Structure 1
């Protein structure tokens, strides 16, 4: 059984191992590799996908929005192990596209992991994690609108990545930063659409 992830580099390494043995890498393969009990790594995975060049794959934002909603709602109802439907689990990407995105993310991941540490933990445990889940539901519902505003889904992906990392590293300060990024993203959307 895989050890729990503790940082972003470990997540990228674990997903990267899948590219060495498969022509296509499905979400089900990734979920199995990171474990089905950890919501933080799943949010990290969604955030990485939206922030990376993979977000340009047709239909990826729609599937990631469904993924966010499913993860967040299950966090809200207190499930210990999450469930995903097969139409999401079966979604896949070519291994070379995935490896290119992972290579692109490796250097920033090292820098991010150096500054993570447990702090303001009340923001990522119990009540705080419910607040994170509510915010993720809102983001998932707003993602179709984000398709109309350039770079807004990438900004939301960055914030989701930060939220996932905050849950993994128990870093409440990072969760606060994610809330600020979401606020700026929603402001950008409002300014562009009104």
Structure 2
């Protein structure tokens, strides 16, 4: 069942993902979108980042690329000011095993509680108004680089961390996390470019 409100915190996001997929053997990308709400651009970025970071999910070949495509489609619609998220059925119907999702969510629980204690509304010019669109563009740059990151060991984890930081920033209205995301983006892209040149 689709949610109408944006998750209030990272902990709330994980709870929604659990509650809305309980009892299923396979979970689709569409199910994840329904769990966080069709108007929730920030949580989609956060989900993509967390799943790229999560053991047994982000390590599956092709998953970072798939999640990068989801971010590109989602934030592209934010830039064009669509009121709700639309994704094609070929992407919406892609599935992963519910037990792998549950393991990833369990791994995220403690970090989520820690992060929620440290978020607050600050440097909001990075996540509101024109700054929001700048943050979206940088997220899209990270997402577009995820296929290349799959070729450089461990760099997809850096991309996932950058997307996670941007997602937290958008959900919590916390520009400090956006600033951290920008720093991690620069470092990760430098590692990827160096790694590809060495191949």
Query: Deviation string for 1:123-155 (max 9, x for gaps)?
Result: 100111110111122122211211111111111
Query: Deviation string for 1:52-99 (max 9, x for gaps)?
Result: 121122321221121111012111111121110111111111111110
2:124 aligns with one of 121, 124, 127: 121
**Contact 1:160–1:178 under 8 Å retained in 2:** yes
Taking the aligned partners of 1:174 and 1:27, their CA distance within structure 2 comes to 25
**Structure 2 unaligned runs (5+)?**
none
Aligned residues: 194
Query: Deviation string for 1:133-190 (max 9, x for gaps)?
Result: 1112212221121111111111111111111111111000110000001011011112
Q: With CA pairs under 8 Å and 6+ residues apart, which has the higher RCO, 1 or 2?
A: 1
**Contact 1:19–1:98 under 8 Å retained in 2:** no
Taking the aligned partners of 2:195 and 2:6, their CA distance within structure 1 comes to 40
1:46 aligns with one of 45, 48, 51: 48
Q: Which runs of 4+ in 1 moved over 6 A?
A: none
Partner of 1:145: 148
Partner of 1:180: 183
Taking the aligned partners of 2:135 and 2:19, their CA distance within structure 1 comes to 29
Query: SS of 1:56's equivalent?
Result: coil
**Contact 2:21–2:31 under 8 Å retained in 1:** no
Are 2:169 and 1:169 equivalent residues in the alignment? Answer: no
**Structure 1 unaligned runs (5+)?**
none
TM-score w.r.t. structure 1 length? Answer: 0.95
Partner of 2:23: 21
TM-score w.r.t. structure 2 length? Answer: 0.93
